[in-house]
Amino acid sequence: MEKQWRSIDEYKNGGQLDEEKKVEKKHKNAVLDVLDSKVVDAPASRRDFLKLFGFSVATAAVVSSCEKPVQKAIPYLIKPEEVTPGKASYYASTFFDGTEYGSVLVKVRDGRPIKIEGNHQSPVSRGGTSARIQASVLNLYDDARYKEPTIRGKEVGWEELDNVVWDRLANGGHTVILTSTVISPSTREVFRKFMQSHPNSEWIQYDEVSASGIREAHRAVFGAPVIPGYHFDRARYILSFDADFLGTWIAPVEFTRDYAATREVTSQHPHMSKHIQVESALSMTGSNADERIPVTPLESDLMLAAIYNSLAGATGYPPVSAPPCVTEVEALVAGLMHHRGRSIVVSGSNDPGVQKMVAGINYMLDNYGSTLDLERTIQLKQGDDRKFAALISALDSGGVDNLVMAHVNPVYSLGGFESMKKAGFTVYIGTALNETAEACQLVCPDHHFLEAWGDAEPVKGSYSLQQPCIHPLFNSRSFQDSMLVWAGQHRGYSDLVKFWWENNIAPADEKGNKDWWVRTLQAGYYVKESGVNPSTEKYTPPEVVLHPAQSDLTLTLYSTVAINDGRYANNPWLQELPDPVSKVCWDNYLAVSPADAATMGLEDEMVVRLKGVELPVLIQPGQAKGTVSLALGYGRTKAGKVGENLGVNAFAWVPFLEGMRSYTISQVRLETTSLTYPIARTQTQHTMEGRPIVRETSLEEFTADPYAGNHFHLESEAQNQTLYPETKFDGYHWGLMVDQNKCTGCNNCVVACIAENNVAVVGKEEVKKRRIMHWIRIDRYYSENPENPKVFQQPVMCQHCDNAPCENVCPVSATMHSNEGLNQVAYVRCIGTKYCINNCPYRVRRFNWFRFVKNDKFDFNQNSDLSRLVLNPDVTVRERGVVEKCSFCVQRIQEKKMEAKLENRELTDGEIQPACVQSCPAGALVFGNMNDPGAKVSKLMKEERNYHLLEQLHTLPSVGYLTKVRNAKPGPESDSHQAQDENHG
């Protein structure tokens, strides 16, 4: 860390920027050259040119005559001591993109961050990450990043830009700084300093997808605008109203961990939480619910009111005034009452009224203090819609002279931001191309979070540090540094962070102890044990008035697991990530309930007109009748080569209701058209055809018989016969367990796998042709009633069968079995007969239909010299015409084995973690050595719930699945088709 620290430091010494640039370039090239000599054909700096010129004419001739580009690696002259070529080093850091927090380990290989891993020591995210966090490393190498500071599109140096800003700020106009949520205490300090030097300025936080309803509610009910800490792990009864808390709501990673903890059942411990989801669109969270009640948003509000009132009646609080709801809520009330203090009620609505009722319900159930926490409150989503609304009117009235915006995109997320032009002077601070920046006069490139210092306080009292893992690739400057420079400060931000931590966070006995700082930096997090006190006053029951629901079509807008609020539009990994429920990628679409589709005569891929915008329709089982839903975050117009003009921008329709942004719009009308629009789906068959693929049982049945729903396993075990003796694996025999009770289908593993294994992005057309390259996919099945189906999520990767059908049929021995039970592919040997693809009953093998690297037909991350820096050098980039598939991350296995060997010790269980396992927020995946009876994986393999996919084929997979257990009354259909499966063989 010494090094990063120093260079940044130099970088900060304001005056000598030219000097600085040289240093930077030198370092950068050094870094790039070591492994990725693409710099040779990358836009070359003067130094590069000279460097290349150094090579003799003869070499040049060779280069020009040779077909393959000659790759030159220039080694370090003086090697930084923390960099060992070929050996990865991990740095604890912090991910926060304005909406989502994660404590992460950054895998740095030869100076390049190439992978984000979860930090298992963090008390907040506890080793989990989300698909977005996994993919964020690719944004570091995004071609659309701003590389130089610009004034009206013209590249300028920093000092020139700073002078312009200083002049402007000097004449003391009203300055507004508009940022996304800031959870960094040191950054607050920066703002304080800025405010000091520019008194006539204010700071407003703004969230594209706002949760200010919750804060508003708590202000009204408890006198403090907070988002309480949610502890799903302590809840035995979870009631969620339109809150996708496992996918996108507030802190999904954290919540997934807690939630998964309550879903762990064994025959010894047959207990689990009960999760009821009341929602209009079928969300990923809803797909995991034990019971799901599809209703319109207005109906769900009325249900809340009804529940509130019956609880109020029981506890003697004044009721709220609302018309009665249609749905029966007695059962829910009973459940809540029965689990007083062990239940939790959440709502995704941004309507303060609704959130007040939620708060009230939780209060009346004594959940505050147990499942809800008013001390260690969540610091995310600090955006205040009312303030923002006020800003807009202030702008319109010309009350704002200077507008500085950082990491927000109102031009997109308001569907146009005309008022902005009223401000005479607009500055944008951000990393990559976006609509707002393009509309601003000054653009200040900010570091990517992997290049910058920083800290965070995601939850009151628990802090984490962010440290740079690579020297800035471009002439960018951290947001905080810009603010400091403009505030006339000379001390740099990196300096400030350390100072601030040592003075404000370090415990008394550690004050001024450099060692403490280094330790904390290594750990990446710090938890304040004491000194966190509730900022709340006594409870005041809310007064809410609800109006009767209109009975017509309601549009609900939601943010997706992949694209979130649109900030990841230019990230091909996320664009190609299938939606956990609909399995659609590269587009957003209008989800319509089967019943409505029938009445309106709609079919998949038909185009309808909604508010004058044309949208493709997708019939979504489980969508509440009378509602349609549409994903936010699409329809970006300025995002970069990948993300532009995909889908429609739904933000344009998000209205302000009483100063709060509302994501449900009632009384919408659909006009059908004769057009159709193709949608790319990675799965087109949605039922299991009554086959024993995802096995399921109810908690009752499971407690009665641990083998419930899984008798077929015993049968096929009994019937297994073999002509040849089964292979014995002495030494290691790798295996993977998938707990389908914990897996929520969040797709984190998919992106982790893409990043780890250099999986190619193929684009919408190829996805439509069913040629997606993902090595691990999450199958999603529906069963029973299409209006409210049971949903099953099942991750499927190579099963590494010990009797692998694919191996027998390869004529050239390109795929065969290792003596550790791995089914391996030798890419160099493969001639691409595709026979193995046909003969894999799980269809997990992928064929390279085209050359996906350096091919302009596939202009994604692998077609850009910059983006290819993210490639993992431990994994071959596959050539056109070869077959590839999941390898259990064999490179990680070998690495750890080597380590253990060098340290002359046994491998410990859980030491080896494939990419998918490492960062699974639910801890649903367990990898290990099946030959070691003590290993977690072997224990799970012995569980009654364990079974293998298609085990009747006697392929002897090394992957095991644990039967899904639902804490719900067994539906008649579900069991009948289970039974019928078992009759078959």
Partner 1 sequence: MEAQYIMGVFDEEQSMLSAFRRMKEEEVEIEDVFMPYPVHEVLENHGKKSKITIVGWFYGLFATLGVLAFLVYTAVIDWPLNYGGKPSNAFPSFLVVTIILTIFSITILSLFTFSWRANLWPSNQKPIFHERATDDKFVILVKKDKVDVLKASSLMKETGASEIIEK
Partner 2 sequence: MYNTEVRGPLILGNKVLDQITRDITSPLYARPKFWWVVGLGISSIMMLLGFWAIFTTVSQGIGTWGVNNTVGWGWAIINFVWWIGIGHAGTAFSIFLLILRQEWRSSINRAAEAMTVVAVGCAAIFPALHMGRIWDAFYIFPYPNTRGPLWVNYNSPLFWDFIAISAYLLISASFWYLGMIPDFATIRDNTKSKIKKAVYGFFAMGWRGSIGEWKRYEGLSYILGGIAAVLVVSVHSIVSTDFAVAVEPGWHTTIFPPYFVVGAIFSGFAMVMTLMIILRKIYKLEDYVTNAHLDKVAKILIFISLIMGTAYSTEIFLAWYSGNEYEIFTFFHNRITGEFTVQFWCMFTFNALVPQLMWFRKIRSNMLIVFIISILINVGMWFERFNIVVTSLTKDYLPSAWATYSPTFVEIAMYLGTLGIFVFGVLLFFKYIPMIAISEVKAVNKYQVPSTQSSVKKGNGRR
Q: Which residues bind partner 2 (CB under 8 A)?
A: 683-691, 693, 766, 769-772, 777, 779-781, 794, 796, 805, 808-813, 816, 829-835, 837-839, 841-843, 845-851, 879-883, 949-950, 953, 955, 984-985
Residue 720 binds partner 1 (CB under 8 A): no
Please list, in sequence order, all residues whose beta carbon lies within 8 angstroms of the beta carbon of residue 304, skipping any fewer than 6 positions away: 241, 347, 354, 357, 358, 361
Q: What is the closest distance, in whole angstroms, from the C-beta atom of residue 795 to partner 1 in the complex?
A: 24
Q: Do residues 780 and 691 touch, judged by C-beta distance below 8 A? A: no
Selected binder of partner 1 within 75, 601, 725, 985 (CB under 8 A): 725
Buried b (16+ CB within 10 A) or exposed e, 854-872: eeeebebbbbbbbbbbbbb
Residue 342 binds partner 1 (CB under 8 A): no
- Report the partner that residue 830 touches, choosing among partner 2, partner 1, none (CB closer than 5 to 8 A by kind): partner 2
Q: How many residues does the chain have?
A: 985
Tokens at 64, concatenated? 């020009």
Residue 596 binds partner 1 (CB under 8 A): no
Q: What is the closest distance, in whole angstroms, from the C-beta atom of residue 138 to partner 1 in the complex?
A: 37
- Report the partner that residue 684 touches, choosing among partner 2, partner 1, none (CB closer than 5 to 8 A by kind): partner 2
- For partner 2, give the closer residue by CB, 409 or 963: 963
Contact region for partner 1 (CB under 8 A) — 61-69, 307-315, 808-816, 975-983?
Answer: 808-816
Residue 952 binds partner 1 (CB under 8 A): no
Selected binder of partner 1 within 224, 816, 837, 900 (CB under 8 A): 816
- Report the partner that residue 677 touches, choosing among partner 2, partner 1, none (CB closer than 5 to 8 A by kind): none
Residue 803 binds partner 1 (CB under 8 A): yes
- For partner 2, give the closer residue by CB, 703 or 833: 833
Q: What is the closest distance, in whole angstroms, from the C-beta atom of residue 767 to partner 2 in the complex?
A: 10
- Report the partner that residue 851 touches, choosing among partner 1, partner 2, none (CB closer than 5 to 8 A by kind): partner 2
- Report the partner that residue 956 touches, choosing among partner 2, partner 1, none (CB closer than 5 to 8 A by kind): partner 1
Selected binder of partner 1 within 804, 870, 889, 907 (CB under 8 A): 804
Q: What is the closest distance, in whole angstroms, from the C-beta atom of residue 810 to partner 1 in the complex?
A: 8
Half-sphere exposure of residue 591, counting CA atoms within 13 Å on the CB side?
27
- For partner 2, give the closer residue by CB, 516 or 860: 860
Among the listed residues 223, 228, 227, the one whose alpha carbon sits nearest the alpha carbon of residue 211: 227
E strands, 50-183, in order: 88-96, 101-109, 112-118, 150-151, 154-155, 175-179
Burial of 833 (0-12, 13-18, 19+ CB in 10 A): middle
Q: What is the C-alpha to C-alpha distance for residues 134 and 130, in angstroms, rounded to an integer?
A: 6
Residue 701 binds partner 1 (CB under 8 A): no
Among the listed residues 593, 537, 181, the one whose alpha carbon sits nearest the alpha carbon of residue 384: 181
- For partner 2, give the closer residue by CB, 171 or 685: 685
- For partner 2, give the closer residue by CB, 645 or 838: 838
Q: What is the C-alpha to C-alpha distance for residues 953 and 544, in angstroms, rounded to an integer?
A: 60
- Report the partner that residue 812 touches, choosing among partner 1, partner 2, none (CB closer than 5 to 8 A by kind): partner 2
Please list, in sequence order, all residues whose beta carbon lies within 8 angstroms of the beta carbon of residue 408, skipping any fewer than 6 positions away: 98, 178, 179, 180, 206, 208, 436
Q: What is the C-alpha to C-alpha distance for residues 788 and 279, in angstroms, rounded to an integer?
A: 11
Q: What is the closest distance, in whole angstroms, from the C-beta atom of residue 914 to partner 2 in the complex?
A: 21
Q: Do residues 752 and 892 touch, judged by C-beta distance below 8 A? A: no
* HEC profile of 181-215: CCCCHHHHHHHHHHHHHCCCEEEEECCCCCCHHHH
Residue 668 binds partner 1 (CB under 8 A): no
Beta strands at 237-241 and 274-279: parallel, antiparallel or unpaired: parallel
- Report the partner that residue 192 touches, choosing among partner 2, partner 1, none (CB closer than 5 to 8 A by kind): none
Q: Report the SS3 class of residue 905.
A: coil
Residue 724 binds partner 1 (CB under 8 A): yes
795 phi and psi angles, rounded to 5 deg: -70, 130
C-alpha angle with apex 631: 629 to 634, nearest 5 degrees?
145
Q: What is the C-alpha to C-alpha distance for residues 985 and 977, in angstroms, rounded to an integer?
A: 14
Q: What is the C-alpha to C-alpha distance for residues 311 and 313, in angstroms, rounded to an integer?
A: 5
Selected binder of partner 1 within 100, 455, 579, 802 (CB under 8 A): 802
- Report the partner that residue 201 touches, choosing among partner 2, partner 1, none (CB closer than 5 to 8 A by kind): none
Tokens at 722, concatenated? 């073999």
Contact region for partner 1 (CB under 8 A) — 59-67, 242-250, 306-314, 803-811?
Answer: 803-811
Selected binder of partner 1 within 306, 956, 965, 968 (CB under 8 A): 956
- Report the partner that residue 804 touches, choosing among partner 1, partner 2, none (CB closer than 5 to 8 A by kind): partner 1
- Contacts with partner 1 by CB under 8 A lie at 724-727, 801-808, 810, 813, 816-819, 956
